[in-house]
Chain A
Amino acid sequence: MNIKLLKRNPEFARNVQQELTKQRLIAMPVILFLLALLVLSVSDIGYNYRGNKYDNLAKYASIAFVIIASLWGAKSAADGVLNEYNGRTWDWQRMSTLSPWKMTIGKLFGSTIFNWYGGIICVIIYLLSTCASNAIYGGMNSSNAFNDTRLLYSITDIINSIFIAISIQGIAILASLMQMKKGDGRSKIKVTAIIIFPIILLMITWIDSGLMYRLGFLQYQRAFWYGMNLGFFRTILTSMFYASWIIAGLYRTMRTELQYTNGLKWWVLFLISSAIFNAGFILGQHNNSNLQLGITMAFAMQFLGYAFITFAMTLLEPKEIIGFRMVIKYFKEKNFDKLYTILPLWTISLLFLILSGIVTSVLVLTLPDNFIESKLGGLFYNNFFFEKLKAIRSTISAAPFAMIGFLLRDIALIFYVNLLKKNKRADATAILYLFILHLVIPLIIRSSSIGFIFYPSDSQGFIAMIGAPFFEAFAMIVILVRKWNDVNSRIEEI
């Protein structure tokens, strides 16, 4: 084993030794080189591309990077921790004196070192082919201005892809760690279920990186951030922001695993900073945009973001009974210092969701009548959307409360399923129930007037719109409390 690396980070050194075998070190460049030759030869034969064969190679190199560094990298990252759990070596690591940072870096970059090795080769091929395209053919376009910025564009693309790959790998480790916390310590965890989270993230980044624009939903890409035109750097800023938070989240989770106590400040900071960061893309999109409308939209977007985070954290966080008992115990003892260290993150997210919902609702109700003229700086194409918005303003202002009610019901349902005796796949079962509640039933009853029972709808007035979800949430919470008491009484009897 490499002693120098061992001195710096034993976890990274071990991963490097296990991942970078001689055979793999030789195989990766050989395969990629052969594939590059194949692309070039195929491009020569079918020369119908608007660019040239080197552009073609650059395109495939970028696709290869996504496959090797992001997708395969996510699998390697998830394997990196799941193999420890399945191989029962995780206990050694938890009992080690390694710091959470060393463990984070060791796992994140160590278990994916082979993917980064392949990814770097792809980047080199990408850059070389881009330069070759420029030098030999003058690039994709004859415009000099375009070619001048092309290299810069390529470099920003690479940096962006690297941050996205880090984020996706980080999410894979986070999801694995969450899954491990939920495990019973005996049964093995399969990596396939974990990979779904990074894939979702990858799809979101693709959508965010221009798909909406290309599909015509947005008039232009959101290049402005608090009025500053970031151009190409917008995507880098976004991916860097989220990659940093994912690494911070990973560090926090590693701290928990290595038996350090964690407070909630990091999570609160994330919730606040993401709100401020995301608001920048809505506020100041255009010089003449209406500020209140911008703030309203920013809060509404963040409300949806918080709803997603609350729901995701409810599903991801462990729901073991001992955790709840401890929360109740510390709460009864008024031991808020301890409570602060064990409170689930979804509870804080829910608090932020409720606050942002109230603010959104108030802002929508107090929007001036001429708000439609501003049209959020012309971000959206169609006036119809804003006409509709004006007409259903009251409905929109009530929608956050209805959504909070439905979410509370869903959270209670998820916990109820987790308290059932046979709860091996509790969260998957809960998702199935929620799929039926949120998609199947609403589709069946789409033409009837009872939609307000399943989704925010003012068809029966505002009282029904808000009352129905809260009544459902109340009923579900009553059922949950009964189940909780039932489980408790069974434990007492043992």
Chain B
Amino acid sequence: MIKVSGLSFEYVDKKALNNISFTIEQGSITALVGPNGAGKTTLLRCLAALQKPLTGNISVNDIDVIEDPRKAHLNIGYLSDFFGLYDDMNVNDSLLYIACSRNPDVDNAVKAVEWVIEKVNLESFCDKEISKLSRGMRQRVGIAQAIIHQPKVLLLDEPASGLDPEARYALSSLLVGLNKTGMTMLVSSHILAELEDYCTDMLVLNNGSIVEQQVMQHKQEGIVTMQILLDEIPEFLLAKLHVITAIKHIEVRDNQILIKLNEFETGRKKLLQYILELGIQPNEYGEYKVNMQDEYIRTINSIKNQEV
């Protein structure tokens, strides 16, 4: 759905994005994480065709964003970290204006407002002035504005910042709900624990470069990641595991083996039985739940170690 290649962007004394390339699959929710100043906002703005990069190509839903930004805008919804709302208007009027500026047919715009109000649960706030809404509700209005034209891709820059736990939970539910309608999302956030609940992929950006892209939750049914903890990993075990067709990928980290397993072909119990039959007694065996916080810290630390 989103394809980026060789993307670079520069400010006077800083390379904000340094020749980055990645692909985001349709229907995924990708967490865009990285330290402050890593280039997350610049990347999102380039993807939203709001800033032109120095070099590189971006395509969203097979539309060249750099060559045809107007067409790309029809497929993209973007919410900045400040939401950007017309404070002195009421919710309904503000959404009607945004809908009309996205869709010249006023009748369709009215329908779009009705649809989006229901989608983001703003029914009881339609006549309220935006300035009088709580931060959580303001954010809902912001999301409503971003999706009013039913884009294929939704880009959210720090949507959860400043929200209380209840509002964050509501946001997660809302994003999962939107994702179910087929919307692909790229969400930048500092609150990794909350991203973990709904993100399927993680993109780590550091110093303007993509340092890791990882699948957090397998969308493919039956695929699980199994973890085996051992005191020492014997060479022959890896060789034996590699020949099992149900095992799609093996990753070794110190004394830990991570196995991407297709459970439809071989169940997890059967795999354990096979390992035991090989005379190996694991210290721990079970499904590996990817912890975004841990993965992020691990990635950032490994970069720091490389730099040292």
Measured in the bound complex, the distance between the Cα atoms of B80 and A14 in whole Å is: 21
User: Do the beta carbons of A10 and B101 come within 8 Å of each other?
Assistant: yes
Measured in the bound complex, the distance between the Cα atoms of B86 and A87 in whole Å is: 8
Interface residue from A87, A96, A490 paired with B84 (Cβ < 8 Å): A87
Contacts of B12 in A (CB 8 A): 320-321, 419, 421, 423, 487
Chain A binder among B90-98, B168-176, B252-260: B90-98
Interface string of B66-93 (1 = CB under 8 A from A): 0001100110101010111111110001
- How far, in Å, is A180 (CB) from chain B's closest CB? 12
- How far, in Å, is A314 (CB) from chain B's closest CB? 17
Q: Dominant SS at the A interface?
A: helix
User: Do the beta carbons of B14 and A92 come within 8 Å of each other?
Assistant: no
User: Do the beta carbons of B15 and A11 come within 8 Å of each other?
Assistant: no
User: Do the beta carbons of A89 and B54 come within 8 Å of each other?
Assistant: no
Which residue on B lies nearest to A15, using beta carbons?
B97
- How far, in Å, is A181 (CB) from chain B's closest CB? 11
- How far, in Å, is A425 (CB) from chain B's closest CB? 14
User: Do the beta carbons of A92 and B50 come within 8 Å of each other?
Assistant: no
Contacts of A259 in B (CB 8 A): 49, 69-70, 73
Which residue on A lies nearest to B53, using beta carbons?
A322
Chain A binder among B102-110, B222-230, B294-302: B102-110
User: Do the beta carbons of B54 and A325 come within 8 Å of each other?
Assistant: yes
Interface string of A418-431 (1 = CB under 8 A from B): 01010100000000
Q: Which of A1-34 contact B (CB under 8 A)?
A: 1, 3, 6-7, 10-11, 13-14, 17-18
Known: A491-B10, A494-B15. A93 touches B101 (CB 8 A): yes
User: Do the beta carbons of A96 and B102 come within 8 Å of each other?
Assistant: yes
Known: A10-B100, A14-B97, A91-B78. A321 touches B10 (CB 8 A): yes
Interface string of A82-106 (1 = CB under 8 A from B): 0000011111111111100000000
User: Do the beta carbons of B97 and A10 come within 8 Å of each other?
Assistant: yes
Contacts of B54 in A (CB 8 A): 322, 325-326, 329
User: Do the beta carbons of B86 and A14 come within 8 Å of each other?
Assistant: yes
Interface string of A252-293 (1 = CB under 8 A from B): 000000111000000000000000000000000000000000
User: Do the beta carbons of A88 and B50 come within 8 Å of each other?
Assistant: no
Does B48 count as interface, using CB distance less than 8 angstroms? yes
Contacts of A326 in B (CB 8 A): 52, 54
Known: A94-B50, A95-B50, A97-B101. A6 touches B96 (CB 8 A): yes
- How far, in Å, is B185 (CB) from chain A's closest CB? 17
Contacts of B88 in A (CB 8 A): 18
Interface string of A341-378 (1 = CB under 8 A from B): 00000000000000000000000000000000000000
User: Do the beta carbons of A98 and B101 come within 8 Å of each other?
Assistant: yes
Contacts of A96 in B (CB 8 A): 73, 98, 101-102
Measured in the bound complex, the distance between the Cα atoms of B113 and A1 in whole Å is: 13
User: Do the beta carbons of B70 and A491 come within 8 Å of each other?
Assistant: no
Contacts of A98 in B (CB 8 A): 101
Does B179 count as interface, using CB distance less than 8 angstroms? no
Which residue on A lies nearest to B81, using beta carbons?
A88
Contacts of A7 in B (CB 8 A): 100, 106
Interface residue from A91, A92, A94, A491 paired with B15 (Cβ < 8 Å): A491
Contacts of A91 in B (CB 8 A): 48, 50, 78, 80, 84
Does B11 count as interface, using CB distance less than 8 angstroms? yes
Measured in the bound complex, the distance between the Cα atoms of B89 and A259 in whole Å is: 27
User: Do the beta carbons of B13 and A97 come within 8 Å of each other?
Assistant: no
Contacts of B13 in A (CB 8 A): 421, 487, 490-491
Q: Which of B208-259 contact A (CB under 8 A)?
A: 208
Contacts of A490 in B (CB 8 A): 13
Measured in the bound complex, the distance between the Cα atoms of B53 and A329 in whole Å is: 12
User: Do the beta carbons of A95 and B10 come within 8 Å of each other?
Assistant: no
Measured in the bound complex, the distance between the Cα atoms of B15 and A260 in whole Å is: 26
Measured in the bound complex, the distance between the Cα atoms of B25 and A430 in whole Å is: 49
- How far, in Å, is B140 (CB) from chain A's closest CB? 16
User: Do the beta carbons of A1 and B97 come within 8 Å of each other?
Assistant: yes
Measured in the bound complex, the distance between the Cα atoms of B11 and A423 in whole Å is: 12
Does B207 count as interface, using CB distance less than 8 angstroms? yes
Interface residue from A87, A93, A325 paired with B10 (Cβ < 8 Å): A325
User: Do the beta carbons of A89 and B86 come within 8 Å of each other?
Assistant: yes
Q: Which of A85-139 contact B (CB under 8 A)?
A: 87-98
User: Do the beta carbons of B70 and A92 come within 8 Å of each other?
Assistant: no
Contacts of B207 in A (CB 8 A): 494
Contacts of B104 in A (CB 8 A): 97
A interface with B by C-beta (< 8 Å): 1, 3, 6-7, 10-11, 13-14, 17-18, 87-98, 258-260, 320-322, 325-326, 329, 419, 421, 423, 487, 490-491, 494
A sample of 5 cross-chain residue pairs with beta-carbon separation below 8 angstroms, ordered by A number, consists of A88-B80, A258-B70, A322-B52, A421-B12, A494-B15
**In the complex, the 10 A-B pairs of residues with the closest C-beta atoms, listed nearest first:** A88-B84, A96-B101, A10-B100, A259-B69, A88-B82, A89-B84, A95-B73, A14-B97, A10-B101, A1-B93
A6-B106, A14-B86, A89-B86 known, 19 other contacts, Cβ within 8 Å: A6-B97, A14-B93, A17-B89, A17-B93, A91-B78, A91-B80, A95-B49, A96-B73, A97-B101, A258-B70, A260-B70, A320-B12, A321-B10, A322-B10, A322-B54, A329-B55, A490-B13, A491-B13, A494-B14
